[in-house]
């Protein structure tokens, strides 16, 4: 229990619990919308927002949220115009994010801890960050809870959802902003380079065992929480970057569940 004597660890575990819920929850819709790589794209744009906020002396999470939200809306618009090449919108924004962040970091005269943002750092989660993370989480949970049926319809059949007079454009815009928000609150723990894995890998693992969409959400959150909490604890005791640790555990979960499901299926066939 000595771990709870450290305030930074209490903050890190609090943030981890919330992130472990939000990322797989949003990840379910992201994966079925075929936008799995959006995490990489928005996280690189978020880095430019972090650099901008650091230069002007604002909380990096605020800068990250603003930059990634704008980028998320642009991706959604480009995805509509480039229907057959929708993945290009993600690649374009990712390239733009890398370019802008590279310039801002190079001209910055402030103390910019690049490593902690790239791979995550449990020691950098502040009390202000926790307030932002909790606020964002509440908004995301309310949005998904209140518009679950509409989100489900849009995710699997966007064209018919439009004919059903569902405000598809508005819901998609809000959804993309909340995706950006979920990525932003994850950066402190997992880092820019690995944030996409926390969105997609728990979902991939859940699809191996779940029999319905709601079951998939439950299992993806479960696998996400196990990976992120154990990753943070291991990184604390071994003094290693939490992001890489969390991703490795997530991949091991996927491999373990895949092997287990194959063994079960082979027994049923016999």
Band (pLDDT 50/70/90 cuts) for residue 85 is low
- Is residue 188 a contact partner of residue 124, using CB atoms and an 8 Å limit? yes
State how far the alpha carbon of 192 is from the alpha carbons of 16, 125, 139, 170, in Å. Answer: 15, 15, 22, 28
Dihedral sign of CA atoms 201, 206, 207, 208 in order = positive
Band (pLDDT 50/70/90 cuts) for residue 182 is confident
Band (pLDDT 50/70/90 cuts) for residue 151 is very high
Task: Look at domain 2-195 and name its CATH class.
Answer: mainly alpha
Residue 195: the pLDDT is 78
- Is residue 130 a contact partner of residue 161, using CB atoms and an 8 Å limit? no
Residue 268: the pLDDT is 65
Q: In angstroms, how far is CA 62 from the centroid of its own chain?
A: 16
Q: pLDDT exceeding 90 applies to what percent of the chain?
A: 22
Q: For residues 256 and 186, which has the higher predicted lDDT (pLDDT)? A: 256
- Crossing angle (nearest 10°) for helices 195-206 and 168-190: 110
Residue 43: the pLDDT is 80
Residues 8-51: tens digit of each pLDDT: 888 888 888 998 899 899 989 988 888 777 877 888 888 888 88
Choice among 12-16, 74-78, 146-150, 248-252 with the minimum mean pLDDT: 74-78
Residue 215 tokens read as 């079951």
Residues 120-150: tens digit of each pLDDT: 777 778 888 888 889 989 999 999 999 999 9
pLDDT, averaged across the chain: 83
Q: Where are the domains of the chain?
A: 2-195
Residue 254: the pLDDT is 94
Q: What is the mean pLDDT of residues 74-100?
A: 76
Instruction: Look up the pTM and report it.
Output: 0.84
Band (pLDDT 50/70/90 cuts) for residue 114 is low
Residue 226: the pLDDT is 93
Q: What is the C-alpha to C-alpha distance for residues 48 and 52, in angstroms, rounded to an integer?
A: 6
Residue 238, judged by CB atoms within 10 A of its CB (0-12, 13-18, 19+), counts as exposed
* C-beta neighbour count of 115 within 10 angstroms: 11
- Is residue 120 a contact partner of residue 188, using CB atoms and an 8 Å limit? yes
Residue 116: the pLDDT is 67
Residue 252: the pLDDT is 94
Residue 234 tokens read as 């291991």
Q: What is the C-alpha to C-alpha distance for residues 6 and 195, in angstroms, rounded to an integer?
A: 25
8-state DSSP, 212? S
Is residue 249's pLDDT more than 90?
yes
Q: What angle (nearest 5°) sits at the alpha carbon of residue 24, between those of residues 21 and 25?
A: 75
């Amino acid at each position: 229990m000595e771990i709870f004597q450290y305030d930074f660890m209490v903050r890190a575990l609090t943030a981890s619990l919330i992130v472990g819920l939000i990322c797989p929850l949003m990840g379910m819709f992201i994966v079925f919308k075929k936008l799995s790589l959006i995490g990489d794209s928005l996280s690189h744009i978020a880095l430019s927002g972090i650099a901008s906020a650091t230069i002007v002396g604002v909380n990096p999470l605020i800068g990250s949220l603003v930059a990634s939200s704008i980028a998320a809306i642009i991706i959604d618009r480009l995805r509509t115009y480039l229907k057959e090449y929708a993945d290009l919108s993600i690649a374009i924004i990712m390239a733009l994010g890398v370019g802008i962040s590279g310039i801002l970091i190079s001209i910055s005269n402030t103390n910019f801890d690049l490593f902690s943002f790239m791979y995550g750092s449990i020691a950098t989660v502040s009390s202000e960050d926790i307030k932002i993370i909790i606020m964002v989480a509440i908004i995301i949970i309310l949005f998904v809870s209140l518009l679950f049926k509409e989100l489900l319809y849009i995710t699997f059949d966007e064209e018919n959802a439009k004919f059903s007079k569902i405000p598809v454009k508005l819901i998609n815009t809000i959804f993309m902003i909340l995706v950006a928000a979920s990525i932003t609150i994850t950066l402190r723990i997992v880092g820019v380079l690995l944030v996409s894995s926390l969105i997609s890998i728990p979902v991939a693992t859940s699809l191996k065992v779940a029999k319905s969409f709601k079951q998939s959400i439950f299992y993806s959150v479960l696998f996400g929480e196990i990976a992120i909490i154990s990753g943070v604890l291991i990184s604390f005791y071994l003094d290693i970057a939490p992001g890489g640790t969390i991703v490795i555990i997530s991949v091991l979960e996927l491999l373990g569940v895949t092997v287990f499901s194959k063994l079960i299926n082979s027994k049923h066939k016999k």
